[in-house]
Structure 1
Amino acid sequence: MTSPADLAASLGRRRAYWHAGVLLTVLLGALYVVRRHWPTVESGAGRLAGADQGWLLVGATAALGTWAASALAQQGAVIRRLPGRLLLAAQFAACAANHLLPAGLGAGAVNVRFLMRCGLPAGRSASALAVKATAGATVRLALIAALAPACPGLLRPPRLSPAAFAVVLGGLVLVAALPATPWWARCRRALTAVLADLRALHGCPARSAALWGGSLAFAALHSLVLIAVTQAVGLPLPPLQVALLYLAASSAAALLPTPGGLGSLDAALALALTVAGAPGAAAASAVLGYRLLTVWLPLLPGLLVLGLLVRRKAV
């Protein structure tokens, strides 16, 4: 008969093996991503070698601030007070995990696990992420609406061909037919839960200020990263236009489920900068610099932090 001490030791070994396996998987994933995109990393480093180091430092500082802004917005999405240091570490780790899985699944999984470890039920944790995402999307649209009049003609609505118009019309008809389906009923319940959480959060001024302030700071700091890189490489576009182009391109890229917007955001940013009048080489260098500061340089440290959080059972 197995004694309680032997059973506890066996469970402890299993947990240790599981934690080691997760950590190894995380490290292998990091090495795979870096190796797969190594030409991009190497080319970006070469193009940025002659850039203004002062502006690159400004961009790196703004990139560091994005994780603090994300942590502030996540705290604002829940009433319960979260442990500050672990929350910041979780956002750093979630940002890295987001570049391994499509459509934000990596970041979502890390944040849900973190919130559940903090004592929130699974449903409330998922709702908190939806609240944060809703606030972020609303802030981006508001910033685009505020900046567009200051940059007339920079953003042009796409011209729809008859075929594209038919596809859009068909999509609207399909959405109109969804209310009778169980899928739509589940979506409606989820939306109702998110709206209820938003109302509850706005009953607490400190939480609502953190939610909207963090979301605003997150979008503004990402815009500042791109502005700093464009200044570093001498791209001839005013900072206000660069910010508007970033907000529009990142909002469009969010519709494509690629890991961390890899490929979709790069293409959207490069196209937006080029159409706005930037030389192709300078636009490519700016996009590579933005990616280096926000993805490639923090990727391996972020995954290491994720492994440590898993080992400490914080996620």
Structure 2
Amino acid sequence: ALRRLGYAPTKARKIDDDVQGSRRYAVTTEEDEEERRVDVTVLDRDRQVAGLVYRLWRRLLLASETRRRAIRSLRAELEREALMAYAAKAAGANTPRLLGTSEVGTEAALLIYEHLDTRALEDVPDDEITDDVLTEVWQQVRLFQAQRLAHRRLEGESIHLDKSGHVVLVDARSGEIAAGDLLLRLDIAQCLTYLALRVGPERSVATAAAVLGPDALAGALPLLQRIALTRQTRSALRGKDKKLLSAVREQIVELKPPGVVAQVRLERFRPRTLVTIIGSALAAYLLLSQLGQVDFVRVLTTAEWAWTGIALVAAGLSYVAAALMIKGFVPESLPLGRTVMVQFAGSFVKLVAPAAVSSVALNTRYLQKRGIPPGLAVASVGASQLIGLAFHIALLLFFAYVTGSDAAASLTPSRTLLIVLLAVSVAIVVVLGVSPLRRMISTRVRSLFSGVVPRLLDVLQSPRRIVQSVTGTLLLTLTFVVCLDACVRAFGHDMSFAAVAVVFLAGNAIGSAAPTPGGLGAVETALMAGLTLSGVNPGVATSAVLLFRLLTFWLPVLPGWASFTWLQRHKAI
């Protein structure tokens, strides 16, 4: 193939593959009785398949404007790289000159580049990367931007320095000609991040601003997201300061405070969304398999309507209790009626998000719309969640003890209490023994207390707020327990209130941890299992749980939707 292009190769040796895995060779040719070296890149079908799964995942994950084509024909790949090489050279950028291209049969193709004696910036020590080098990097980027060329891989393996210290850009095969604004801004964001990893955010941003101007950096501000960066840069960010992107943003804001910055969403969906979809599908499968064994006509006709009415009233009071709890943890005045509507709206939001997440997000948004600063709004909701968790654990231990005691005749702890305490102890040992878990818990607890404790101190200064918050927290749990107890009694089974409380508290904890919307599937399974283990007939347990979930999860959806719509229309959330 080289001879067909007029070269007379005398020897060749394989050198390191390029960043995309293509084979590269250093070839010595004889020209006018003089030896000359050229660099040959070989594209073949076998290497095209490498990394295919990762490229398909990125294509599925990212918005259409940012994603690369996962599979191209060999011919299209050859033409793309050649076109980028010619366009970059025409733009005046310092890149290796493309000397020729050729297909090698039907399974491979090669590109011949002039040899430049360079070393990758990745191999250059940090203290050798001067401001002059950084400035020249940005000058090369500016040449690309001026001709609307997107490199798409501005990192250490693609930025080189020649013997005289000048910057050379290589490996532009993934690039785009006639690139849109989004891709050009992504190049700036990528280069800013990589250079910040090497020399710090201050120097990276300062040299970029001197060459490109503050406006260009402000345009890249919304694109400083991990998902927008190359694989190698994302890995480097995980290994270094995780706040580096925030530091880069702060440096840009100092240069040019943004007006209204339009957020750019690059992901079609988040991996967490995929987990939720899979979890919801699994939960629906499990739930439907259970429902297939249930005679709904029998459930509705055999239930005692008096107990069903009590369960309905208790379910309705739970929304008032939730509103009282939120009001108790917010020193500012909140209208009770509108706060109750927010709790009803949460029942609608639970259809698309886990129960704990939807409640926290909606209440925080509501408080912000009431004029409470975001930090204080998050702290207030966090305080209510923290105290709610404490009460939840305390009530679980209390009712577990009461369940196993015969009218307090013996002070011997019940088997249920011992099992609960043992489970909690094992969980604590596991968390303390696994260092990643320990660090994660300590970090979250520290960040939680940094905002929540001052908010709790504000609440403790008002006895009325204390009574309101404690009453709301207790009432919220007790109304659900009363609802479940009434549902069990509606089908003719008499069960102690303490045992029902233990079943609900354990099932609710599992539902809050489940990634499915409203704990769907997990709550039903946990409650049915708990009631069955407590001696309730499996058929009665299934009927009681279905009635309970109908009253507390499905029935409030319609008024929740109405509340959500009304609150949105009146800009309350």
Match of 2:312 in 1: 60
Structure number with higher strand proportion: 2
Shift of 1:149: 2.5
The yes-or-no answer on 1:122 pairing with 2:387 is: no
Match of 1:250 in 2: 508
Match of 1:108 in 2: 360
Amino acid at match of 1:238: S
Contact 1:48/1:233, CA 8 A, preserved across alignment? no
Shift of 1:140: 1.7
Match of 1:76 in 2: 328
CA displacement 1:281-305 (0-9 Å, x = unmatched): 1100111010011011111221121
Distance in 2, matches of 1:191 and 1:151, equals 34
- Partner of 1:48, secondary structure, is helix
Match of 2:344 in 1: 92
Distance in 1, matches of 2:295 and 2:381, equals 33
- Partner of 2:303, secondary structure, is coil
Shift of 1:136: 1.3
Using a 3 Å threshold, how does the CA distance of structure 1 residues 42 and 270 change in structure 2: closer, same or farther? closer
Amino acid at match of 2:434: L
- Partner of 1:49, secondary structure, is helix
Alignment of 1:227-238 (within 5 A): 227-238=485-496
Shift of 1:172: 2.4
Match of 1:173 in 2: 433
Distance in 2, matches of 1:112 and 1:159, equals 33
Distance in 1, matches of 2:292 and 2:469, equals 34
Gap runs ≥5 in structure 2 = 1-280, 405-413
The yes-or-no answer on 1:48 pairing with 2:327 is: no
Structure (1 or 2) with the larger CA radius of gyration:
2
Using a 3 Å threshold, how does the CA distance of structure 1 residues 194 and 175 change in structure 2: closer, same or farther? farther
Using a 3 Å threshold, how does the CA distance of structure 1 residues 75 and 42 change in structure 2: closer, same or farther? farther
Using a 3 Å threshold, how does the CA distance of structure 1 residues 284 and 254 change in structure 2: closer, same or farther? same
Contact 2:356/2:512, CA 8 A, preserved across alignment? no
The yes-or-no answer on 1:302 pairing with 2:302 is: no
Match of 2:549 in 1: 291
Q: Which piece of structure 1 moves more, 194-203 or 145-154?
A: 145-154
Using a 3 Å threshold, how does the CA distance of structure 1 residues 187 and 237 change in structure 2: closer, same or farther? closer
Match of 1:5 in 2: none
- Partner of 1:146, secondary structure, is helix
Segments ≥4 residues shifted beyond 3 Å: 36-45, 158-161, 167-171, 175-179, 183-187
Match of 1:259 in 2: 517
CA displacement 1:54-90 (0-9 Å, x = unmatched): 0000000001100000000000111001122111111
Contact 2:354/2:512, CA 8 A, preserved across alignment? no
Match of 1:18 in 2: none
Alignment of 1:90-239 (within 5 A): 90-152=342-404, 153=414, 155=416, 157=419, 171-175=431-435, 178-179=438-439, 184-185=442-443, 187-239=445-497
Using a 3 Å threshold, how does the CA distance of structure 1 residues 174 and 207 change in structure 2: closer, same or farther? same
Distance in 2, matches of 1:291 and 1:44, equals 16
Contact 1:77/1:131, CA 8 A, preserved across alignment? yes
Distance in 2, matches of 1:293 and 1:210, equals 25
Amino acid at match of 1:281: G
Distance in 2, matches of 1:41 and 1:68, equals 35
Please report the TM-score for the alignment, with normalisation by the length of structure 1. Answer: 0.78
Contact 1:245/1:272, CA 8 A, preserved across alignment? yes
Amino acid at match of 1:174: V
Distance in 2, matches of 1:204 and 1:212, equals 12
CA RMSD of aligned residues (A): 3.0
Amino acid at match of 1:173: G
Shift of 1:185: 4.5
Amino acid at match of 1:72: L
Alignment of 1:2-17 (within 5 A): none
Structure number with higher helix proportion: 1
CA displacement 1:246-287 (0-9 Å, x = unmatched): 122222433323322211111111111111111111100111
Contact 1:44/1:289, CA 8 A, preserved across alignment? no
- Partner of 1:78, secondary structure, is coil
Using a 3 Å threshold, how does the CA distance of structure 1 residues 175 and 85 change in structure 2: closer, same or farther? farther
Distance in 2, matches of 1:158 and 1:84, equals 37
Distance in 2, matches of 1:214 and 1:64, equals 14
Distance in 1, matches of 2:421 and 2:400, equals 18
Gap runs ≥5 in structure 1 = 1-32
Distance in 1, matches of 2:294 and 2:565, equals 29
Which of 262, 279, 286 does residue 537 from structure 2 map onto? 279
Distance in 1, matches of 2:502 and 2:572, equals 37
Contact 1:76/1:207, CA 8 A, preserved across alignment? yes
In the comparison of the two structures, how many residue pairs are matched?
276
Using a 3 Å threshold, how does the CA distance of structure 1 residues 154 and 268 change in structure 2: closer, same or farther? farther
